Amino acid sequence: MWNVLLSFSGLVALIQLLFLPFFPESPPYLLLQKGDKAGCLKAMKQLWGEGNYHTEFDDMMKEKAVTKGTKIMNVLEVLKEPSVYPQLSTMLLLLLSLQLCGLSATANLQESIIPYVSLGVAISELISIIFCSSIIDRFGRRILLWGGYLLMALILVLLETSLLLSDQFLWMRYCSVILIFLFIIAYGIGP
């Protein structure tokens, strides 16, 4: 019943993808990254309803003033910064726990190949972390969520198809493995 389980996560991703356009961008992102004050206030009203949000807005303006001279670091600079080691350790622990989710078992491969698939999953996670952290400031979270969920839904449809055909065509099992890697990269970049 792996196909039902995978279909369920695809259904959840599709529902989130359908409702995502109705949500505004994050107010801090609009103000701090894009410098859009009017858009920030509009997003606050959409998210929190009518009210006076000048205190929150002023706090974000103070944060913007404090971070104005701060340099945006690239991935290598972040990895060299000792103050972020606890956060990086936590993130790596969470990503490595993805190894235990059983996604690799869905490809119906021989046991001798599974360790290589697990290694490929770890490499896919690393690729997604590096890629996402380098493009998130350029595109914003909303576009990455959209693209991630859209790619995940498409990949899950293709994965389901390859799993159904894997008994007829043995090479489809390897396509399933590649699709699993792509799913993990899409998940890491988006959601």
User: For the segment 101-156, what is each residue's pLDDT rounded down to a tens digit?
Assistant: 555 555 556 677 777 777 777 787 778 877 777 777 777 777 877 888 888 889 88
Where do the domains of the chain lie?
1-71, 76-187
Give pLDDT, residue 14. Answer: 82
Write down the pLDDT at residue 96. Answer: 65
pLDDT at res. 121 = 76
Angle at which helix 172-189 crosses helix 114-139, to 10 degrees, equals: 30
Q: If you average pLDDT over every residue of the chain, what do you get?
A: 78
**Given this model, what pLDDT does residue 63 score?**
80
pLDDT of residue 72: 65
List Cβ neighbours of 183 (8 Å cut-off, separation of 6 or more).
103, 152, 155, 156, 159
3-class DSSP string for the chain: CHHHHHHHHHHHHHHHHHHHHHCCCCHHHHHHHCCCHHHHHHHHHHHHCCCCCHHHHHHHHHHHHHCCCCCCCCHHHHHHCHHHHHHHHHHHHHHHHHHHHCHHHHHCCCCCCHHHHHHHHHHHHHHHHHHHHHHHHHHCHHHHHHHHHHHHHHHHHHHHHHHHHCCCCCCHHHHHHHHHHHHHHHHHHCC
Task: State both tokens at 160.
Answer: 């389901």
